[in-house]
Chains A and B, each alone.
Chain A
């Protein structure tokens, strides 16, 4: 939960219009906007039911388990294991992304709840041979185009 946000960019998204522009490629909607606002403060927020405690991702306005509308955005610890993996050899141009050799995309199963997952990439210095399904990881914040971006690093502690 690195909150080393000395250069926080939260001020650049005062309006919905600005937020939408910053996260256009992420499929931002009215239902998940709070998750993306959290990213600007280097917080990985996920929706949790205020009544039954179940997490869900992506964020939706109602709990599918108990139909409560009391959905809270809570910070997850960011610890988990790589559950799905692909290495992209082509794709859209993006700051810091090199498709030569395969850009890793990992879906991490978080420790908060079975099958609660978050998809991103890994840190630039992640040992290549450890980018594999089953590897324990933890959240780290980097930046893309100056915007905080949650990525995964090898777990240092358990």
Chain B
């Protein structure tokens, strides 16, 4: 694990675009990508002629960078990739392209698309039939999404935990979503409704997991130097990491005590001047609520198994949301439990809005630094510290 971080504060996020997210189904993946992309480029104060790098995602059903380039009328580009889904893989690829000199203004476009593989609603849509694999997995499968329910029961077993901290994560997201016009679901959630919810993969119920949605986020990245000439106050990537352990098969993981989240945190701490006592905003992924409890513990807000008492102590009962030390709000946009399965792009987008002062209707005054931790336990844990320039 390296201490080198030559990219620290050298790359800025200067443009944001988003279609917002919907469970009803949006336009085509290409249409969503182009809508988010044009908004992000315009938001940065740039035009298609400035964009010389395009980073998309290998999300199933999403449009490739070459088709986005064609659709946007980009003349030529010197960097074009489609990394693994989950936000930071694409953001970091773009940042490294800027830092290395592969390109000057890199567009990141990350659509998520409801498919027949993850959405019953999509099965009936003839335009989405191509996304069906045709092979149904056996029920006895503890990989991918199901693994989080399996490890949630292990967490409860090892720590004697109740569902209370899971409920607080879910309720916090819904409370914050009320002020986010991009969210797919904005109805508030009560403890009673959480407790009464239908179990899906027990011990996780329908409020413990995000939902398939249609939508796209887009970002524009450039050098910190160039960013000073553009429209918005720049937000800098101070430190960023993706990490895994080698033994990462979901049901073979050594345990909750050491997985990819721990690798990410160890690397971030070696790379950053800013840590959890210095941040103003926290964006832990909550596509499954167990992931969020683990991020609280693994980032060091509380010891292993301590999330239950920590979230109770740092709960604002009047506001029905988490406020760490009464100061640091968590997932101010309502997270993936409200926007849907954005793979963490919403967490990044919202952090940038807050840090540059454009989180209209939910702005946290004087926010200077944010810790963003998308991803789960197995093959996609990742984290970034973003700061206002």
Contact = CB atoms under 8 A, between A and B. Distances in A.
Interface of A: 24-27, 57-58, 64, 83-94, 97, 102-103, 105, 107, 115-117, 119-121, 133-134
Contacts of A120: 140
B139 interface: yes
Contacts of B249: 57-58
Interface string B120-150: 0000000000000001111111110010011
B231 interface: no
Nearest to A118: B251
A58 B249 CA distance: 8
Contacts, number: 88
Contact of B139 (A24, A58, A84, A94): A94
Interface of B: 135-143, 146, 149-154, 157, 198-204, 246-247, 249, 251-255
Contact of B200 (A26, A89, A116): A89
Contact of A25 (B138, B149, B252): B138
11 contacts: A25-B137, A27-B137, A57-B252, A84-B153, A86-B150, A88-B201, A89-B200, A92-B137, A107-B251, A115-B252, A133-B153
Contacts of A85: 150, 153-154
B257 to A, nearest CB: 12
A84 B377 CA distance: 15
B199 A133 contact: no
Contacts of A103: 139
Given A133-B157, A134-B157, A87 B252 contact: no
A84 B150 contact: yes
Given A105-B150, A133-B154, A86 B141 contact: no
B252 A90 contact: no
Nearest to B204: A86
Q: Which 9 A-B pairs have the closest CB atoms?
A: A84-B150, A87-B202, A86-B149, A92-B136, A133-B157, A25-B138, A119-B142, A107-B251, A89-B199
A114 B44 CA distance: 53
Given A25-B135, A89-B199, A121 B140 contact: yes
Contacts of B136: 25, 92-93
B203 A88 contact: no
**Residue among B150, B152, B254 with the most chain A CB within 10 A?**
B150
A103 B154 CA distance: 17
A38 B153 CA distance: 31
B142 A86 contact: yes
A8 B116 CA distance: 36
A81 B141 CA distance: 18
Contact of B201 (A26, A27, A87, A134): A87
Contacts of B138: 25-26, 92, 94
Given A85-B153, A105-B141, A119 B251 contact: yes
B343 to A, nearest CB: 22
Contacts of A121: 139-140
Nearest to B147: A84
B140 A86 contact: no
Contacts of B247: 64, 115
B135 A86 contact: no
Nearest to A120: B140
A87 B146 CA distance: 10
**Residue among A86, A90, A91, A134 with the most chain B CB within 10 A?**
A86
A92 B141 CA distance: 11
Given A58-B249, A105-B146, A115-B252, A88 B139 contact: yes
**Residue among B139, B198, B202, B249 with the most chain A CB within 10 A?**
B139
B201 A117 contact: no
**Residue among B138, B141, B153, B154 with the most chain A CB within 10 A?**
B138
A10 to B, nearest CB: 20
Contacts of A97: 139
Contacts of B149: 86
